[in-house]
Chains A and B, each alone.
Chain A
Amino acid sequence: MLRVLKPGLQTTLQGAPRLGYRQYGIPYAGPADVVSMALANRLVGNSRDATCLEITFGGFEADAEEACSIALCGAVGHLSVSGTAIAAHETVHLNAGERVHVAPPAAGARTYLAIHSGFQANAQFGSTSTYLPAQLGGHEGRVLQAGDVLRSTKDGAVYSQTLQTPDAVRPTYTRAFALRACEGAETHLLAPDSREDLFGATFQSGRQPTRMGLALGGHQLRVSSDGKMKSAPVFPGTIQCPPSGVPIALLSDAQTTGGYPRIASIARCDRHLLGQIRPGDQVTLLHRTPDAALRDFKEKQALLERWLLSGRT
């Protein structure tokens, strides 16, 4: 059981995506960085999408009111327990009364805090994930506040093991991201030089990245849209290009449909990295055919699953 002292800029509970409700306009939600959440859960013996804390830009502090086992993955700055530094990517056993502190990271945007057995959360439409615009899931559908008490599903239980994420699957972040991407449904609406720039230019992440979308500024594209495009399906990973010429990459809270040309899609293998991009970070897109992108996904998935599924029956 954790009592929140400092919630940070935006901390929410996230679990599995809310699948199957896009036809009603309900986005998936779930972690902006699905890989980091899975890694954090692995270290405390949980299934990969057990409900975790998603902490944006650090600044989080909480007291353990009972003994518990936690792990921190994703973007990491200085981490400490009652003033003593602790490592990310390692199971941490907290005693009652100890205080965990997550300082802002120097690179990357989101830190995932997993607790053994997972956090209790409000499940709505089949998922505990917080979707803030409709106040669904999580802790009363909102961002965490000082004073909130977060219980785990087996309060008082500690994990019997102390694990570390293997180096081979431990991600590190810088202020530059190269993301594999495929052409989208309306890539042909880009002017020829913009089409080359899409996979060549260096974009700069906009000032207000949200869980819904991330503006790719710094290099304006020219898109010839007659404005009559009908609203079409979009997903996390879709890159839309409004008439402003500043593309927007969609994340886990992506709206379900949109009327702007869908000029590209971040490949599934690299979609989790979108959740770690900070304002001002450099972003380049690496062109992949859809088949090559799926091979890349399977490679990454195999590497990750060797760890996530190890020691399980």
Chain B
Amino acid sequence: MSAALTRTRIADDVFEFAVQSPKDAQALAQQLRETGYAEDVVAGLDRVAILFHPDQFEQVDAWLSGIEHVPSIEDSAAPLIDIKVQYGGEAGPDFAAICAALELSQDAFISHHTAVEHVVEMIGFTPGFSYISGLPDTFEIPRLSNPRPRVPAGSVGISAAFTGIYALAGPGGWPLIGRTDARLFNPDGDVPFLLRPGHRVRFVAA
């Protein structure tokens, strides 16, 4: 059983729980969605926000008062997905600088990044953008001080110790290490999103 939850009102029509981990955030959000009083439930990396209609304030407040702990969920066998990445060069304009800052050779970084099994912690920001953990916590890569007005779809970036994949072309503040051809968001496909929170990811050097 995890620690008791704290809940705050972050807008006139939004409550928010603080939790310990992305996994807790996903588990709590899932549980809250199943209850169905909310207009929307959105998980951040360590927060879960509940948007409600003002007419339902009393019901929602009473409902959430009864939520005291993050539900424990069974670790199910999550799919393992290979993502091919072309590291460095034109595809990863910040790769050399990141390796230099980490005092790693480019080959050493690639072996690091491809050796471990990563986990999708959250989908957010824009459609399909995936926050993927797996790098050592000692990696503290800062965001670019001047975000790029446009990064290509499939761009792979690093921020703090997260690997992020831009599913769409658009503005981007994460330093870029490479690019993948994998299509993370396919609105017309049977499975619009390649990755879901909890999925395991293995990066493969292209």
A-side interface residues toward B, CB under 8 Å? 19-20, 22-27, 124-125, 133-136, 182, 184-185, 227-228, 230-233, 235, 237-238, 255-258, 262, 265, 267-268, 288, 290-291, 293-294, 297-298, 301
A23 partner residues in chain B, CB cutoff 8 A: 29, 33, 41-43, 123
Contact B127 A25, beta carbon cutoff 8 Å: yes
Tell me whether A184 and B10 are in contact in the complex, defined as CB-CB below 8 angstroms, given that A25-B127, A134-B126 are known contacts: yes
Interface residues of B in 105-137 (CB under 8 A from A): 122-129, 131
B-side interface residues toward A, CB under 8 Å? 8-14, 16, 29, 33, 39-49, 51, 54-55, 57, 122-129, 131, 142, 160, 167-168, 170, 185, 187, 192-193
Tell me whether A26 and B44 are in contact in the complex, defined as CB-CB below 8 angstroms, given that A267-B12, A268-B54 are known contacts: no
Closest to B33 in A: A23
Contact A290 B12, beta carbon cutoff 8 Å: yes
Report the minimum CB–CB distance from A297 to chain B (whole Å). Answer: 5
Contact A257 B124, beta carbon cutoff 8 Å: yes
Closest to B173 in A: A259
B40 partner residues in chain A, CB cutoff 8 A: 19-20, 22
B192 partner residues in chain A, CB cutoff 8 A: 24, 125
Q: Is the interface of A mostly helix, strand, loop or mixed?
A: mixed
Contact A133 B125, beta carbon cutoff 8 Å: no
Q: A24-B123, A133-B170 are in contact. List 12 more A-B contacts (CB 8 A).
A: A25-B128, A133-B127, A133-B168, A134-B168, A227-B142, A230-B44, A232-B49, A256-B124, A265-B10, A268-B11, A291-B12, A297-B54
User: Which of B9, B45, B125 meets A230, CB within 8 Å?
Assistant: B45
Closest to B42 in A: A233
